[in-house]
Chains A and B, each alone.
Chain A
């Protein structure tokens, strides 16, 4: 299964496993080298938690690209706020 590094909280990393609506927290120090926010990992279930097998570069690139395309679409959609102070 895949997990994405959503964010850091202090010395901890929060990894979302969105396909099964779960998340797990591991010390930053235990991440594979080169891990950063938005890194995608191959994971496997390990006892009550998960084990990181490898970084999945191509999945991370594909996901980042998908987000960028959606963001472009969203920005193209609107001319800004109607609440601007007159």
Chain B
């Protein structure tokens, strides 16, 4: 395994009206941990989960698969994948080059009433963009597409084909129509090559108006390093992706739907078996993203976890064999470089079963606050009040007394594994 030289990353944070998010990171316990380069070892939800597990230390990756491909020593230049801090929204930038050309690809464009992604691109000295993929038309994914297409010469734009009636969506479409960009709606099984980068479409095979579910999901392959993006696709769609027969193993997985419990099915996590998981979410967002259950299942599988809410922008750099990860906290955090999945992994035993949820990160239904209990699947504001009114509980099964919680929902709650009773 080769080590990259640690590089200093200097990300200029441009004030975008909500830049104060960055300052508050100083108070996060994770920040302290990072100073010792043990990033991504603790739950970014410490305040709600009291996570004290440190099994996912930075040197115990549990990538359980090895790539079947022979090592292709292709002397690739560097690919940088920037998981941009776009608040409670999504945007990722891929930059790489070969002998003749440099390439720029954007997956999602941030939120509609911010300009952070536009500003981030400006800081990267980008002159043109080969491809912009917008996973789906919700405003936190298509948000800055119009502005970006008006600013940069854009080769192609890909959309899922599902429509929104928002002016944000219409404005984006008008910008693409007025540009010289080609347009495509990619479908399951299609494959593309953009210089040395391969793109394989995992989803959707067709569209029916379900915006989140039918997010464009793509496996990017660069040498032997693979990156998977699924937008806001849910667990059912993840299972369909497994069913395509396409090998969906990837080194770096962007957790679906901002780390929400609508995504990251245990079977999907196992099939992808990433060494690193990254989610995009806004600090202290209103939706409880990422879900503590998802955080637990990722960490219990020995997967390094990063989030834009606590790490800011996260940059993965790879030569197609090894990769290194930096975040923009205080300018530089440089965890050890890691071999891609084609390298033999010595830490398989670090993986634990998805069902074995760490009890220290569960939500005690007899004690948790009304906000905390809403982290549990099927528990919204009303049911949270019912849940509190009906206390105490001898077991999680006691939640059946709540109106609307039937045995099927109890099964979901148990399957999620974050609800527990004290004692």
Contacts and interface: CB of A to CB of B under 8 A. Distances in A.
A67 B177 contact: no
Nearest to A86: B193
B159 to A, nearest CB: 8
A85 B192 contact: yes
Contacts of A68: 163
A38 to B, nearest CB: 4
A11 B156 contact: no
A77 B193 contact: no
Contacts of B260: 9-10
A16 interface: yes
A34 interface: no
A11 B374 contact: yes
Nearest to A25: B286
B380 interface: yes
Interface residues of B, number: 48
Contacts of B164: 6, 37-38, 67
B194 A83 contact: yes
Contacts of B159: 74
A12 interface: yes
Given A12-B287, A16-B112, A81-B182, A71 B173 contact: yes
B286 A22 contact: no
B131 interface: yes
Nearest to A21: B113
A29 B182 contact: no
Contact of A27 (B169, B191, B211, B380): B380
Given A9-B287, A16-B168, A78 B183 contact: yes
B166 A82 contact: no
B182 A78 contact: yes
Interface in A17-43: 18, 21-23, 25, 27-29, 37-38, 40
B199 interface: yes
B412 interface: no
A80 B184 contact: yes
B37 to A, nearest CB: 33
B193 A85 contact: yes
B190 interface: yes
Given A37-B211, A75-B183, 8 more contacts: A6-B164, A18-B167, A23-B139, A37-B164, A66-B165, A78-B181, A82-B182, A86-B193
* 8 A-B pairs with least C-beta separation: A11-B380, A63-B165, A78-B183, A83-B192, A70-B173, A85-B191, A81-B184, A9-B287
Interface of A: 4, 6-7, 9-12, 14, 16, 18, 21-23, 25, 27-29, 37-38, 40, 60, 63-64, 66-68, 70-71, 73-75, 77-86
26 contacts: A9-B286, A10-B262, A10-B374, A11-B380, A14-B139, A16-B113, A16-B139, A16-B166, A18-B168, A22-B113, A27-B380, A38-B164, A38-B165, A60-B165, A63-B165, A67-B163, A67-B165, A70-B174, A74-B176, A78-B182, A81-B184, A81-B186, A83-B156, A83-B192, A83-B194, A85-B192
Interface of B: 112-113, 131, 138-140, 155-156, 158-159, 161, 163-170, 173-174, 176-177, 181-186, 190-194, 198-199, 211-212, 260, 262, 286-289, 374, 380-382
